[in-house]
Amino acid sequence: MTEELMPLAKMRDRLKIEGEESDTSIFLNLMYLGELLTKLTVAGFVAAVQDDRDRQKYRAKYKFVRAVGIGDWSSALLGIVTGPTAALLDHEMSQELRQATEKVGASEWQSRTLNLLAQAAHELAVELPEVQSRVSLQGWFASFAMFRNKTRGHGAPKAGLCAKACAPLQESLDLIISNFSLFSRPWAYLHHCLSGKYRVTHLGGPREPFETYKRRADHPSLEDGVYIFLSQPRLVELLSFAQVM
């Protein structure tokens, strides 16, 4: 059974509640959702980087834990998916890497989500880079960081403008949640019990890959933490259990 990734599901539930409040409140929570998407994407990619003698993974983590704004996360993500670190990604992340970097035409969801973000920005008179005929998902993260810093970063826009921007912004975010493969992967929190088995708290995606960790005690020892299952469980070091619950 596939389940929506818990932090995203909780944020979307919050949006339903906020829908009964002001347009400004809805807009601000959509911006929080965009920041959450960015950080979950970064956390997933960093987890997928395999250790090497040049300590590329350590360098990536070093940048993120010292990031002071969402723009730092977007810039560092670009370095992971287009730089030498990309060659160190778990081979199971090939689809996510392709989705993030491949330039696609107007009919693809990556292009639609970027155009919807541009539409939301236009409603708020925010200038973003012109959307080209062929774009990549990575471009969305760069544009969202600019959009966030020119809106929420400088105080909430007027309610009337927020109302016009909310619909395309939410549709843009929903397209990523529904189509980006990273968010349909198995995610879980693992706690190593004295029996050698694990207490597994499923956080999203198919349950099966982590089920065996409940039943068998012959797995290699894993430290407690949030994991994403790729070719094997990969510790998501940039996330804590408290952050995703």
- The answer to whether residues 178 and 190 belong to one domain is no
**Looking at the structure, do residues 29 and 72 belong to the same domain, yes or no?**
yes
Same domain, yes or no: 140 and 220: no
As a whole number of angstroms, the longest Cα–Cα distance in the chain is 59
Distances (CA, A) of 240 to 2, 7, 62, 73, 245: 22, 12, 17, 17, 9
Last residue of a domain, one of 162, 183, 204: 183
Residue 1 in domain: no
- Report pLDDT digits (tens) over 204-245: 999 999 999 998 888 888 999 999 999 999 999 888 765 665
pTM for the whole thing? Answer: 0.90
CA separation for the pair 185, 209 (Å, rounded) = 10
What span, in angstroms and rounded, lies between the C-alpha atoms of 7 and 204? 9
Residue pLDDT, tens place only, 105-150:
999 999 999 999 999 999 999 999 999 999 999 999 999 999 999 8
